[in-house]
Amino acid sequence: MTTLLVIAKEPRPGRVKTRLTPPFTPHEAAALAQASLADTLDAVARTPAGRRVLVLEGEPGPWLPPGFDVVRQCAGGLDERLAAAFADCEGPALLIGMDTPQVTPELLQVDFADCDAYFGSAEDGGFWALGLAAPDPALLRGVPMSTSHTGAAQRARLAGLRVRDLPRLRDVDTAYDAEVVARSAPGGRFAAELARLSPAGAR
């Protein structure tokens, strides 16, 4: 079965979601990051998988549900860290980040029977998901990360493969993103945390 990978940072103030400050404080941004990560891990936990892996920068906390292996992120740029995550997989794998708390088990149930890759582009020009039937770290190394054309560059690396595109999702980077994402998944921890931090008219 498919390995599900989540690459994430420990939600520590000043280390995560810095583009949310302002209007949020570093502690509030970290609380939102933790809620986003918790929603993401919950969706992964409810998705059938051969293995569930959290590829983590930092230390695991009470937000980590049972059933996950924790692997430390390697040194280097994000492309190297993503490549290393896939290098540890022996079979089909789907990797997502911690910035899409609206993700659902239905989106994550991929079938590689008649394709080689899955790709989920993000609204900001990046990508939120990458699945590979035969993980090859070379498909990620050297891809420019955190730019408006990261998604296009990564998608181009898949040329020659049979690719299925997943729905486009919005990453939570800014306060505006947070509001839009919370409205799309109103029942999650992220939406509840945003509502707690943003009483009507306060921001």
Cα 149 to Cα 141: distance, rounded to the nearest angstrom:
15
Encode pLDDT of 144-173 as tens digits: 999 999 999 999 999 999 999 999 999 999
- Residue 202 in any domain: the answer is no
Cα 73 to Cα 77: distance, rounded to the nearest angstrom:
10
The β-bridge relationship of strands 127-132 and 117-122 is antiparallel
Q: Please name the residue ranges forming H helices in the chain.
A: 26-45, 78-87, 105-108, 150-157, 175-184, 189-197
What is the reported pTM?
Answer: 0.94
- Residue 161 in any domain: the answer is yes
Cα 9 to Cα 27: distance, rounded to the nearest angstrom:
15
Look up the CATH number of the domain holding residue 140.
3.90.550.10
Cα 164 to Cα 116: distance, rounded to the nearest angstrom:
8
Number of domains in the chain: 1
pLDDT given at position 27: 97
pLDDT given at position 203: 43
pLDDT given at position 201: 37
Which residues, in sequence order, are CB contacts of 151 under 8 Å at separation 6+?
121, 122, 125, 126, 127
Omega into 22 within 30° of 0, i.e. cis?
Answer: yes
In the chain, which residues have pLDDT < 50?
A: 200-203
- Residue 106 in any domain: the answer is yes
pLDDT given at position 198: 81
- Residue 40 in any domain: the answer is yes
The tokens describing 62, both together, are 């009470």
The whole domain housing 144 covers: 3-197
- Residue 203 in any domain: the answer is no
pLDDT given at position 114: 93
Cα 168 to Cα 28: distance, rounded to the nearest angstrom:
27
